[in-house]
Amino acid sequence: MAKKLVIKVTAGTDAPERCSQAFTVAAVAVASGVEVSMWLTGESAWFALPGRAADFELPHAAPLPDLVDSILAGGTLTLCTQCAARRDITEKDVIEGVRIAGAQVFVQEAMADGAQALVY
């Protein structure tokens, strides 16, 4: 069984069900004691900014701010470097605890022994 779960979410408000699934799986994994590294890419990059998760709504889904808080409390939340740059997001703009890192770090995490990667 994987000891670390690396999740890349590429969807945001453009594909709310896929987005919610990624955050839900990450939060459940954290609550289950799994080491989680979640990556925000594409349209999900906006959720690295304060208040953006509160604007997300999906019927019958857990509130996105709660899921983000759970992930930050027990896992790692990373914003893709290129995705941040394309949106003019800098480290001073993001929620406390969010890091900005690039593909090299993602590949390193995803290829580590005992890691399982999922992409939504």
The mean per-residue pLDDT over the stretch 9-34 comes to 97
CB 21 within 8 A of CB 27: no
- pTM of the entire predicted model: 0.95
Residues 6+ apart with CB under 8 A from 46: 12, 13, 52, 87
2, pLDDT greater than 70: no
Position 1 confidence tier, pLDDT thresholds 50, 70, 90: low
Position 16 confidence tier, pLDDT thresholds 50, 70, 90: very high
